[in-house]
Structure 1
């Protein structure tokens, strides 16, 4: 799974909030599936600190290579990234937390994979996931570029074979995986910080907001529970 730097900036605060509420604390061993270029793994690494450890797993070698380079550049010694299929991967030891962002949307049977991987979480451990709910995106009043951006996001997700509204299914997926009913957290990004002065999607959205509109980008639905 590929996670873009822009995605990390857009959703980083919402993901950090989820991980904090779920209970990631110093010293924990964390398994991050579908880690992509490492955005979530690095957030988790900051929370578990040098006495903890984060193992990121992704099937995409290019994304994993980027994550390794970024971890090395940041001097992170508590993060390891491996290339593997989360449908068959097994950690060498039990973990204190199983986490992922946009990780379940690309799976053929997310409930089955969640059930299998939760078996590696120690009793009382954290299981926390965050998925997109693209249908929650909106703008008021109707803004031309915001609508086009939302359509592009939806079409891109379908092209990449991602379930674009997995966030709406998270509660049910946890139950289907044999987990206890999760606590839920809904968040949406409604601020725009452009990467460049002009001609970027963020700049276009900011311009439309400045013209008197409000833009609400796709919502992130978070769910977490604790291993029985």
Structure 2
């Protein structure tokens, strides 16, 4: 009887929607990754506004920027720009206010967060966590005593490979050649990630085995060869 009374006085909090950040993202120091906040179990929810808090490990990644995902693009209408405050490993995104309410599709991306993996990031896995989400000014999730309807994401920091992909976009092309040329001519200075990717000469058995700590003409020639043929 007492339990029944308590249930009536303090009904359990129930959330219909589920939220999740991207998991299994991978990158190397100096590279950027994009994490998406998706929604499932939509159940006809109409989103008019959102406020979001996401935590991350500032020793491993730096927050760059955030933008509304495709799930918040209201047809011909545009959402207002979110107000972003990044403090101490906590991204606070407030005042996402849509001109017209949007019912996202199942698995739609509501928000995209760009992170830069720090040059000094240790190899391993770092996480992002959904701390709090308000939709239409109503609390959908809080990690403090909240229901488990929000899943955190992960970024695996891997070792940098000397592959010529200086801008870390997944391919070696003319952009990498131009960057390498600028570094070789000392027109620009590479950061730690760019140096690790672009310092590829000499080859030993067809595999980069650099013996110095710079990007020079020999590196440029090898990167140019890979851009043209697909391999060193």
What TM-score does the superposition give when structure 1 sets the normalisation length? Answer: 0.31
More helix by share: 1
> Which has the larger Rg?
2
What TM-score does the superposition give when structure 2 sets the normalisation length? Answer: 0.31
